Structure 1
Amino acid sequence: MTDRYRLTITHIEQVTADSKKFTLTSLNGNLPPFGAGAHLTLHLPMGDRQYSLITNPLDLGREYTIAVKNLKNHHGGSTYLHGLQIGDAVVASGPDNYFPIRLEAQHHVFFAGGIGITPFLSMMSYLSTLGKTFELHYAASNVETCPFYEEVMNKYSDITTFYFESRNEKRRKLKDALRNRTVGTHVYMCGPQPFMEMLVDTTKELHYPHRVVHEERFRPAGKIEDPKPFRVMVNGSDQFIVKENESLLQRLRNEGYSISYACRMGICGSCEVTLCEGEVLHSDSFLTKEEKKSKMLSCVSRGLGNIEISVDE
């Protein structure tokens, strides 16, 4: 994990009734650079939370800017941040980027659901600077609950399609927007779970190559709702039980294995281990279907019954 540092809140802007933009300033000089699509990890009292950086990475100085929707105690972090004031401090690490712009693409198509617009704000600003082509498809309940609606309209109205219709009509139109794309197009998506699953399923139905579809999720792709304990054998010798309220990653590290990790959401692949035997409930969005036969991400995926894995020591 990267070093931690302290940032001070120097500006807060109400974006919608339940979303705020926070300017986080370093009082000790310039901040580490980041790429479009990167996020910052904030180390909050209730645990670590990741938030996308929303400004053009080419304009970096002493400030980072994030936007946070208050999820009303759904995870705790958003409610905590919404209670902070100008002058309060937060501890951060990063930036890290598991959702980078693919500059080999001929054209970029962004699909945002609600506060899922945040990573695309930096991407669009960056691509505009480079003179690259892109378009945005942005779904929300209505204009009033659509974060950064005015900013997007002012800067990108000619290449943005908004979706404020009923749920079924949104789904139909968003699916249509994925059809008949030219070779060289890359698709990026960020938003709530049902929004993401619908788009991912559609790209599979339309036979999009895996390498041109990129996801940024609020939670693991297939979160296991009722996790069960399972037994794991490591490197043919150590055996232990992974409890229902802990991850394989946590258990491995507690047992003294130096497993690398970063996102802890099944996105980055840092905590990959080799699956030697047994059945696994995969909950990541990183491994391919073929890779899941012999690998698993220890941060989010779980064994069924007994499994055997191999890890580097």
Structure 2
Amino acid sequence: MIKFDNVSKKYQDGTAAVKSLNLEIKAGEFFVVIGPSGCGKTTMLKMINRLITLSEGTLLINGMRISDYDIHELRWNIGYVLQQIALFPHMSIQENISVVPELRGWSKERIHERVDELLDMVGLDSKTYRNRKPKELSGGQQQRIGVVRALAADPEIILMDEPFSALDPISREKLQEDLYSLQRRIKKTIVFVTHDMKEALKLGDRICVMRDGEVVQVGTPEDIIQRPADEFVRNFVGNDKGSFEAMADLSRIAEPLRKDEIFPDQLKTIPASSSLKDALALLTKEEKLGVEAQGAVIGTINRQAVIQYLADHLKEGSGGHE
């Protein structure tokens, strides 16, 4: 889908922001890029939609060099969400969402339907919000509009540059959950930049850890936690292998069964006293597991629940690298 082939970005003063980057991002993947400030992650992101031109190498989307695309067509097919929400303050929410569809020549009827669909998708009633101005919305609501504006023309790719970092912790966590659920429905290719490892673990199908313009490690959340490439990654995660392998009370993670719910016989179970490592190993093959305590299934767990538990229990200070 997106391929970096020996891509570098060097500035006239000799600064190398990105060095010989080789990377492939799969279609439909939630790909998180993480690292400290100045590591090159935003430069990498902006090269995808040609906001920054590469100095060396080749960057391809669907097998075609980005330089061979018409710049407008390229950007219309790539949604972009910033930390600075950047809604047009004088325009209504509907007008903000409609910008790219209008540029692409969509009919008014189609745009109207798309605005309704997108607002509903993020839990905002269209009759209530479509004619409001950005200043009439909370920060979290504005960022939701930023996300759906990026989705308006149904692009293949969404770029997100620390989109939630300016929000308060409660709004941020809610938007992380909403985005995770939304991606499971829409299956876009999302490239998401953050400096927060907890956020990366919660959201990413794969995580790319960068330092000094180079890729240090690419892997699933389990890979990053269980098999950090070096001491830098281990310290950045803020976790150690021991805590990953430690016993955990899986009943604290499990979604309880409803009173009238019968656990399906065909689903596998795991003892509540099992380690997080054992749970994730089984969840690579199973969509969910039953958690068993005292001979009875008390609830279910899935991969995301275990990853979120791990992220929430990283060592203090691991989630706010600058």
Q: Name the structure with the higher strand share.
A: 1
Q: Identify which of structures 1 and 2 has the higher relative contact order when contacts are C-alpha pairs closer than 8 Å and 6+ apart.
A: 2
| TM > 0.5 | no
Answer with 1 or 2: which has the greater Rg: 2
What TM-score does the superposition give when structure 1 sets the normalisation length? 0.32
Q: Give the structure with the higher percent helix.
A: 2
